C-alpha cells in the first residue's frame, strides 16, 4: 500500500489532495506540494476500536507523515497536538489501571503478574518413610482470604493419599516477601484435587482477587504463576486453548469433571498455583500437564473451585449426588444422525441422551431406560449435563421430577431421588 501511495503522490507536480478509503480502517489523505513535500494524513472513525485510547469524535492527524518525517501511534501516548488543533490528544495509558477492552498492551502481562504476585506462595511438605525423611513435596498456592486461607491442590499437600490418613498435615508456607509460616491442611477433596491450607499471621496478608472462569473464551490471554522446580515467583503466559476439556478426553475415570486447557508453560511445582486473567484475577488452579507434549496444561476452573470451597464451609466436605446415569449431550446434527439410523428415535430438538443405566442405581429404581432423552429436570428445561449437575447441586435424598422423551413420541415423567456418591468411586 505504501508503494501505491508513493506513486500517487509523486506523480502529481502540483498541490493536490488524494482521498483514499481503506476498508474498516478509516481514511488516508495524501497531499503533494512542491514547496513542502508530500504528506499523508489519517482520519479514524469513532466507531473503530483500536488498542489505544481515542478521544471522542474523529482524530485527524495532519502531522502523521510517512515521507520526510515518521510518527507512530504507541500505547504509551502521543505528542501534543498543534496549537490550532482543538481536539483532545490521545491519552497516555496508565500501567496501574487494569487493561481495557481486552487488548494486550506493553505492560498488560506485567501488571497482571504484579497484582497477583504477592498472594502466590510456595508450599513444601516434608515426606518420610518409616520415620526417615526422604525429601519434600513442592507446590504453589494462593492466599484467597485475609484470614490466611490458601487455595492449592490436594495432591500437593496430601500426595494422593486418603484425606482420613493425612488430614491436618503440616505445610511450610513461604510468601513472596520472604515471610514463612507453618500452615495446616484444613480441607481437601481428592476427586477435584482441591485443598485449603490455613496460616496465622499477626500482620496483614496479601490476597488475590477471584474472577469468573465462565467469562473465558478460547484464545483469551492468561498467565500461570507459581514455583516450578522451587523457583519462586515464576510467571509464564499463554492463551486458553479450551474452556471445557472433559476428564474423559484425558482418560481420567471417576466423577465427570471439566478443565481449562492452556498452553502456559507449567512444570513440577506449578501445581496449586493460580491461572490468572489480564485483570490479575484468579480464573483457575493449575493442576497438571501432559508430560509427553508441550503446551498442554490444565487447570480447575475457578467457578468450580468456588463451589467446592462453599461445600467445605457448609459441610466440611464435597457432597456429590449420584443418579447412576450415563449421559450424552445432544445437538441438532447428532439428533439428525441418530434419526437416520433409527426412525423411531424420540422427536426432540435438544436434550440429554441416556445410553445406559447402572443396575440398582437411583435412576434404575426410578424407571429410566437406555435411549431416554431428558428434556426437563426438576421443572427446568435442560440441554447440557452441566445444567443437570447445577440443578441437583448437593441435594441428596430429595426427590426430583424428570421428564424424558421416548420413541413413538412417548413422554414420561419420572421421580428420582439422588444419593450421595461413594467418595472412593
Same domain, 345 and 401: yes
The closest alpha carbon to 297, from 222, 233, 227, belongs to 222
CATH value at residue 281: 2.40.10.10
Range of the domain at 147: 116-199
Same domain, 309 and 219: yes
User: Total structural domains in the chain?
Assistant: 4
Same domain, 162 and 129: yes
Q: For residues 15 and 256, give the distance between their C-alpha atoms in angstroms, rounded to a whole number.
A: 72
Q: Provide the 3-class DSSP secondary structure of residue 358.
A: coil
Q: For residues 37 and 29, give the distance between their C-alpha atoms in angstroms, rounded to a whole number.
A: 14
pLDDT at 38: 55
pLDDT at 159: 61
Residue 250 domain-assigned (yes or no): yes
Residue 109 domain-assigned (yes or no): no
Same domain, 402 and 334: yes
CATH value at residue 381: 2.30.42.10
Return left, alpha or beta for 68; rule: phi > 0 is left, psi -120 to 50 is alpha, else beta.
left
Q: Where are the alpha helices (DSSP H) in 376-424?
A: 385-392
Give me 217's grid cell. Answer: 473464551
Q: Alpha carbon of 122 to those of 24, 188, 234: distances in Å?
A: 48, 18, 11
Q: Of 257, 290, 315, which one is at a domain's C-terminal end?
A: 315
Residue 415 domain-assigned (yes or no): yes
Q: Which residues of 347-366 are buried (b: 16+ CB within 10 A; e: fewer)?
A: ebeebbbbeebeeebbbbeb
pLDDT at 423: 66
pLDDT at 257: 87
Q: Of 263, 294, 315, which one is at a domain's C-terminal end?
A: 315
Residue 307 domain-assigned (yes or no): yes
pLDDT at 198: 95
Same domain, 193 and 218: no
pLDDT at 41: 52
Q: Of 270, 297, 315, which one is at a domain's C-terminal end?
A: 315
Q: Alpha carbon of 32 to those of 6, 11, 20, 72: distances in Å?
A: 10, 9, 14, 21
pLDDT (tens, 9 = 90+) of the chain, 425 residues, equals 444 434 444 444 444 444 444 444 454 445 555 555 555 555 544 444 443 343 333 333 333 333 333 333 223 333 334 444 433 333 333 444 554 455 678 899 999 999 999 999 999 887 666 665 556 768 999 999 999 999 999 999 886 444 444 445 789 999 999 999 999 999 999 889 999 999 999 999 999 999 999 999 999 999 999 998 888 889 999 999 999 998 888 878 777 789 999 999 998 889 999 999 999 999 999 999 888 788 899 999 999 999 999 999 988 888 889 999 999 999 999 999 999 999 899 989 999 999 999 999 999 999 999 999 999 999 999 999 989 998 998 899 999 999 999 988 899 999 999 999 876 65
Residue 99 domain-assigned (yes or no): no
Residue 388 domain-assigned (yes or no): yes
Residues with a known catalytic role:
155, 193, 271
Q: Which residues of 166-203 are buried (b: 16+ CB within 10 A; e: fewer)?
A: bbebebbbbbbeeeebebbbebbbbbbbbbbbbbeeee
Same domain, 330 and 310: no
Residue 234 domain-assigned (yes or no): yes
Same domain, 392 and 306: no
Same domain, 302 and 348: no
Give me the DSSP letters along 112-159: HHHHHGGGEEEEEEEEEETTEEEEEEEEEEEE-STT-EEEEEHHHHHT
Residue 168 domain-assigned (yes or no): yes
Spacing of C-alpha 160 from chain mean position = 25
Same domain, 193 and 126: yes
Q: Which residues contact 69 (CB under 8 A, 6 or more apart)?
A: none
Amino acid at each position: 500500500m505504501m508503494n501505491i501511495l508513493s506513486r500517487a503522490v509523486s506523480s502529481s507536480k502540483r498541490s493536490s489532495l488524494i482521498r483514499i478509503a481503506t476498508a474498516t480502517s478509516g481514511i488516508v489523505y495524501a497531499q503533494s506540494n512542491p514547496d513542502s513535500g508530500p504528506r499523508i494524513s489519517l482520519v479514524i472513525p469513532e466507531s473503530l476500536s483500536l488498542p489505544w485510547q481515542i478521544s471522542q469524535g474523529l482524530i485527524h492527524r495532519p502531522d502523521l507523515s510517512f515521507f520526510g518525517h515518521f510518527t507512530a501511534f504507541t500505547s504509551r501516548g502521543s505528542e501534543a497536538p498543534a496549537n490550532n488543533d482543538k481536539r483532545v490528544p490521545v491519552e497516555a495509558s496508565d500501567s496501574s489501571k487494569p487493561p481495557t477492552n481486552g487488548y494486550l498492551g506493553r505492560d498488560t502481562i506485567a501488571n497482571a503478574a504484579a497484582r497477583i504476585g504477592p498472594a502466590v506462595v510456595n508450599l513444601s511438605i516434608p515426606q518420610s518413610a518409616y520415620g526417615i525423611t526422604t525429601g519434600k513435596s513442592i507446590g504453589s498456592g494462593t492466599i484467597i482470604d485475609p484470614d490466611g486461607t490458601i487455595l492449592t491442590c490436594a495432591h500437593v499437600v496430601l500426595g494422593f493419599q486418603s484425606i482420613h490418613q493425612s488430614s491436618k498435615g503440616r505445610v511450610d508456607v513461604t510468601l513472596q516477601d520472604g515471610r514463612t509460616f507453618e500452615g495446616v491442611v484444613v480441607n481437601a477433596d481428592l476427586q477435584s484435587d482441591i485443598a485449603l491450607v490455613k496460616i496465622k499471621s499477626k500482620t496483614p496478608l496479601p490476597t488475590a482477587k477471584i474472577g469468573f472462569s465462565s467469562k473465558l473464551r478460547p484464545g483469551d490471554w492468561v498467565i500461570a504463576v507459581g514455583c516450578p522446580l522451587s523457583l519462586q515467583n515464576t510467571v509464564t503466559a499463554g492463551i486458553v486453548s479450551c474452556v471445557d476439556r472433559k476428564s474423559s478426553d484425558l482418560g481420567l475415570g471417576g466423577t465427570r469433571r471439566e478443565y481449562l486447557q492452556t498452553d502456559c508453560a507449567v512444570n513440577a511445582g506449578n501445581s496449586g498455583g493460580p491461572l490468572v486473567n489480564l485483570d490479575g484475577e484468579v480464573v483457575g488452579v493449575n493442576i497438571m500437564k501432559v508430560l509427553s507434549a508441550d503446551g498442554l496444561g490444565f487447570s480447575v476452573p475457578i467457578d468450580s473451585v468456588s463451589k467446592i470451597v462453599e461445600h467445605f464451609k457448609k459441610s466440611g466436605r464435597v457432597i456429590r449426588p449420584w443418579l447412576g446415569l450415563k449421559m450424552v449431550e445432544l445437538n441438532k446434527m447428532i439428533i439428525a444422525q441418530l434419526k437416520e439410523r433409527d426412525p423411531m428415535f424420540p422427536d426432540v430438538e435438544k436434550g440429554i441422551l441416556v445410553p445406559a443405566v447402572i443396575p440398582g442405581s437411583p435412576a434404575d429404581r426410578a424407571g429410566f431406560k437406555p435411549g431416554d432423552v431428558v428434556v426437563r429436570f426438576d421443572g427446568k428445561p435442560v440441554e447440557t449435563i452441566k445444567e443437570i449437575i447445577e440443578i441437583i447441586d448437593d441435594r441428596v435424598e430429595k426427590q426430583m421430577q424428570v421428564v424424558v422423551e421416548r420413541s413413538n413420541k412417548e413422554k414420561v415423567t419420572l421421580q428420582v431421588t439422588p444419593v450421595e456418591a461413594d467418595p472412593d468411586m
